[in-house]
Amino acid sequence: MEKDENTTHFGFKTVDSADKERLVAGVFDSVAAKYDIMNDVLSMGIHRLWKRQTIDSSGVRPGHKVLDLAGGTGDLTARFSRIVGAAGEVVLADINAAMLNVGRTKLHDMGVVGNVSYVQANAEKLPFPDDYFDCITIAFGLRNVTDKDAALRSMLRVLKPGGRLLVLEFSKPESDWLSKIYDFYSFHFLPRAGELIAQDKESYQYLAESIRMHPDQETLKGMMETAGFAQVDYQNMSGGIVALHRGYKF
């Protein structure tokens, strides 16, 4: 997907790799305050079912350590906090300070305290010890990472042997007719909704483009295997609009 080591994609644009982190930060600084509202509107609430399936596939149990990477406003963190209990730990990590602050405020208001910590972190260079987490999730965040291969290797490093990674991300629809409907939705309705609700058409135009530039199901599966994950598989949801990839560290 990347053109060379010095350039990368920002939506449909080719930019210097060194600039992408700043450009993505600008998008999420802009959308953070309305992020949850827009998720519900744009997915018609279905994102909650996708995330529930991720939780159900995680194998997380009381006492586990979980990293919710690119965790944004903390939907997964809130659920994991209840599962791991007082003996467990959940780290909500995001590279974007605005998203992390929204997540911290939201979870505090929900009464989610005690076993949750908040870390601003780059997925490519995770600031955690080797073999630390039982489970890592990254939901709708990998496509915004500049060097996805480096991020996958970083995730593998901080997972315990036997631990699992779950990548929930927009992907490639399984049928041509669904692709056509989804293209119309993505490039007409999504930016328009962003303009009307979040007063930010450009950011939602980028988000639509970033979905199209993200690796498809089989390509991402291969990337995870190359990074060192074992028994990698994926489950298509909503006709392949979203896919949940799973891999293990052995």
Q: Please tell me whether 144 is known to bind a ligand.
A: no
What residue spans define the domains of the chain? 7-175+204-248
Q: Please tell me whether 216 is known to bind a ligand.
A: no
The per-residue pLDDT for range 178-208, each reduced to its tens digit, is: 999 988 888 888 888 878 877 778 887 888 8
Q: Please tell me whether 137 is known to bind a ligand.
A: no
Please tell me the predicted confidence (pLDDT) of residue 4: 59
The per-residue pLDDT for range 134-166, each reduced to its tens digit, is: 999 999 999 999 999 999 999 999 999 999 999
Is the pLDDT confidence value at 9 over 60?
yes
The encoded tokens of residue 60 equal: 């997380």
Q: Please tell me whether 146 is known to bind a ligand.
A: no
Please tell me the predicted confidence (pLDDT) of residue 185: 86
The per-residue pLDDT for range 163-186, each reduced to its tens digit, is: 999 999 999 999 999 999 988 888
Question: What is the pTM (predicted TM-score) of this model?
Answer: 0.88
* N-terminal to C-terminal alpha carbon distance within the chain: 28
Please tell me the predicted confidence (pLDDT) of residue 3: 45
Instruction: Read off the pLDDT of each residue in 49-67 and give the average, rounded to a whole number.
Output: 97
**Long-range pairs of 45-52 with CB within 8 A, sequence gap ≥ 24:** 46/238, 48/75, 49/237, 50/139, 50/168, 50/237, 50/238, 50/242, 50/244, 51/75, 51/76, 51/79, 51/139, 51/168
Please tell me the predicted confidence (pLDDT) of residue 1: 42
Superfamily of the domain at 7-175+204-248: Vaccinia Virus protein VP39 (3.40.50.150)
| SS3 (DSSP) at 138 | strand
